[in-house]
Structure 1
Amino acid sequence: MFVAMNRFKVLKEKAAAFEAMWLNRNSTLHQMPGFMTFQLLKGPDAEEPVFYSSYTLWARKADFEAWAQSTQFREAHDRAEKREPLSVGHPQFQGFEVLQALNAPASAREAAE
């Protein structure tokens, strides 16, 4: 498995707009082979800037690389380039090969929902 993460430094006064942009977007990730999950993570509100991270899990690094070369990727990022900047600088990308994954039993996951 492969984890792709982007870290964003968002101006505190732009945090609500940043969150709305992500929460209201029309994502096509679910259409991509090898895509497993996406999460948008938010750091503590007390900090300036507010740190966010996008997290995607892919079956293989090659699946992520295919997404990064896809028309869907270009379209999603072209839309972002046309918006008013909400973050300080460009996002910082980090990619990770998964060496170990531990999961809670299904009963524990169901209880948390």
Structure 2
Amino acid sequence: MPFQKNRLATAALLAACAWVATGCDMTPGVIYVANGADFNVMSLTDAQDVCDTPGRVAYLSWWDSATLKGCWVRERGEIVARFPGMAERRIPVGDFQRTELAGYRNLTLD
């Protein structure tokens, strides 16, 4: 009987590890990206995190690898992104490129 309990515990541990590896991805999926003149890349994600609804998480990175985390929303034909300590950024929707993830999920910025 102790051998069977040990096998059950091992199976439960393996199942939990597999669940964590596949179902608990804590990194938000980047769905759109844009390059800028005064920054390297703005990445829009599908995660809400600390952003007020309908906002979603955005990342703004520079060539020196510095990155800020903020929030984005679509207003008319622009993406409005707000990052701590910076003025809001307004970028035309047409400047963003869809990622493979957005294509797979059939997501648009409309």
TM-score (norm. length: structure 2): 0.26
The structure richer in helix per residue is: 1
Q: Find the structure with the greater CA-based Rg.
A: 2
Higher relative CO (Cα under 8 Å, sequence separation at least 6) belongs to: 1
